[in-house]
């Protein structure tokens, strides 16, 4: 039996309870992992509230790092004792140990700590597909302007650094001067405090009225209209989260009126449908982290017992960088 977080109903942080659960046997294609650190992400809130519905009772969490304790038949890329990290289903990483499908479990290089591994997989792989795979029809080249909302969060701080490495003119938004300063310190070329300034007007000033080629937006409802107004003709709107609520329905003609725009709503898990694809993305992420070009900011640490407080701070936008649980 191991300690785990489980919900019996959808709702606020108070529905998360600590329970004792059996780990279960390791079947073919699976591995058993002892977690050293567990990542906390906004998608966990969506699962907890039922915005992304799942059957109950439900564990939470999509990301962790730890040590392989047992390997099932047919698993060839992992061995007992390997340091590993993952960001994938099934949901339920908020636990001390678990059995996982081996497909999306990746070896963690020795240069990267368990805490960084748990904090970087979902966020780092998200930044990877955003910057490398979500490109406008006219492409992304060094010197191009992009806008990234919530840039002082876990995904945002990785994206700031990676975008600088790629030579992009990265415009960050955040909700405080402190968070803006953090984004600038991590490679953003410009930062806008959206609580003080109209980010649409500032983007137009920064780009000389032209607008940006891409907007990366995990905020959702509150920034949607303004984000479209920041795009240049044939620009790409990438929505990948709903921190302020889901984006409302809109008429496709709106995209024509605002400059023949493109819109995409992608998820990480569409990009990690095979071990080969997952490993290639992870290798790209591991390389920039191991080189020191991208640093992982673990700013909040909670015990498993304090998971409710971790979610309260996350939803209140009181966190900076990444948050982890230490089981």
Question: Cα 84 vs. chain centroid, distance in angstroms?
Answer: 18
88: domain CATH number is 3.90.180.10
Return the H-helix or E-strand segment holding 83. Answer: strand 83-87
Judgement on whether residues 113 and 149 belong to the same structural domain of the protein: no
The arithmetic mean of pLDDT across residues 249-254, rounded, is 92
Judgement on whether residues 41 and 149 belong to the same structural domain of the protein: no
Query: Final residue of a domain: which of 244, 265, 286?
Result: 265
Judgement on whether residues 28 and 65 belong to the same structural domain of the protein: yes
**Contact between residue 189 and residue 202 where contact means Cβ atoms under 8 Å apart:** no
Confidence grade of residue 321 (pLDDT, cut at 50, 70, 90):
confident
Is 270 among the domain residues?
Answer: no
Judgement on whether residues 252 and 293 belong to the same structural domain of the protein: no
Classify the C-alpha dihedral 31-37-41-45 as positive or negative: positive
Query: Final residue of a domain: which of 242, 265, 288?
Result: 265
Query: Final residue of a domain: which of 243, 265, 287?
Result: 265
The arithmetic mean of pLDDT across residues 187-214, rounded, is 97
Number of folded domains that form the chain: 2
Confidence grade of residue 246 (pLDDT, cut at 50, 70, 90):
confident
**Contact between residue 261 and residue 228 where contact means Cβ atoms under 8 Å apart:** yes
pTM score of the predicted model: 0.89
Is 271 among the domain residues?
Answer: no
Judgement on whether residues 211 and 287 belong to the same structural domain of the protein: no
Judgement on whether residues 231 and 146 belong to the same structural domain of the protein: yes
Judgement on whether residues 95 and 193 belong to the same structural domain of the protein: no
Structure tokens at 58: 């439900």
Judgement on whether residues 255 and 160 belong to the same structural domain of the protein: yes
Is 230 among the domain residues?
Answer: yes
Does residue 243 register a pLDDT over 90? no
| pLDDT of res. 154 | 85
Beta pairing, strands 63-71 & 231-239 = unpaired
How far is 115 from 118, CA to CA, in rounded Å? 5
% pLDDT > 70, the chain: 100
| pLDDT of res. 186 | 95
Confidence grade of residue 320 (pLDDT, cut at 50, 70, 90):
confident
Is 147 among the domain residues?
Answer: yes
Residues making up the chain, counted from first to last: 327
Judgement on whether residues 212 and 247 belong to the same structural domain of the protein: yes
| pLDDT of res. 81 | 97
Is 319 among the domain residues?
Answer: yes
Residue written as token pair 């003709």: 233
246: domain CATH number is 3.40.50.720
Judgement on whether residues 164 and 228 belong to the same structural domain of the protein: yes
Is 72 among the domain residues?
Answer: yes
Q: What is the pLDDT of residues 22-73, one digit of tens each?
A: 999 999 999 999 999 999 998 999 999 998 899 999 999 999 999 999 999 9
Is 128 among the domain residues?
Answer: no
Is 71 among the domain residues?
Answer: yes
User: Phi and psi of 318, rounded to 5°?
Assistant: -95, 0
Judgement on whether residues 57 and 91 belong to the same structural domain of the protein: yes
| pLDDT of res. 319 | 86
Domain that holds residue 209: 135-265
Judgement on whether residues 168 and 198 belong to the same structural domain of the protein: yes
| pLDDT of res. 242 | 79
């Amino acid at each position: 039996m191991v300690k785990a977080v489980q919900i019996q109903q959808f709702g606020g942080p108070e529905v998360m309870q600590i329970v004792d659960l059996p780990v279960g046997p390791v079947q073919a294609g699976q591995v058993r992992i002892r977690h050293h650190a567990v990542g906390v992400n906004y998608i966990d809130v969506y699962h907890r509230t039922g915005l992304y519905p799942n059957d109950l009772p439900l564990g939470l969490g999509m990301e962790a790092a730890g040590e392989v304790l047992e390997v099932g038949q047919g698993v060839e890329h992992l061995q007992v004792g390997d340091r590993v990290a993952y960001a994938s289903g099934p949901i339920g990483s908020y636990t001390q140990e678990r059995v996982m499908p081996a497909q999306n479990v990746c070896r963690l290089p020795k240069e990267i700590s368990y805490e960084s591994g748990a904090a970087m997989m979902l966020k780092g792989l998200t930044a990877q597909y955003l910057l490398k795979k979500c490109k406008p029809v006219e492409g992304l080249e060094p010197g191009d302007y992009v806008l990234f909302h919530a840039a002082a969060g876990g995904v945002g701080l990785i994206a700031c650094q990676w975008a600088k490495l790629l030579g992009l003119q990265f415009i960050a938004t955040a909700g405080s001067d402190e968070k803006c300063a953090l984004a600038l310190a991590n490679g953003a070329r410009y930062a806008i405090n959206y609580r003080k300034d109209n980010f649409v007007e500032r983007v137009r000033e920064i780009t000389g009225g032209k607008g940006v080629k891409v907007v990366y937006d995990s905020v959702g409802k509150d920034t949607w209209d303004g984000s479209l107004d920041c795009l240049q003709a044939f620009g790409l709107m990438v929505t990948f989260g709903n921190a302020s609520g889901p984006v409302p329905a809109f008429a496709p003609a709106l995209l024509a009126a605002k400059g023949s725009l493109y819109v995409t709503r992608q998820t990480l898990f569409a990009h990690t449908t095979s071990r080969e694809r997952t490993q290639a993305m992870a290798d790209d992420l591991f390389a920039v982290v191991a080189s020191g070009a991208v640093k992982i900011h673990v700013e909040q640490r909670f015990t498993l017992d304090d998971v409710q407080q971790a979610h309260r701070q996350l939803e209140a936008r009181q966190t900076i960088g990444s948050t982890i649980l230490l089981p």
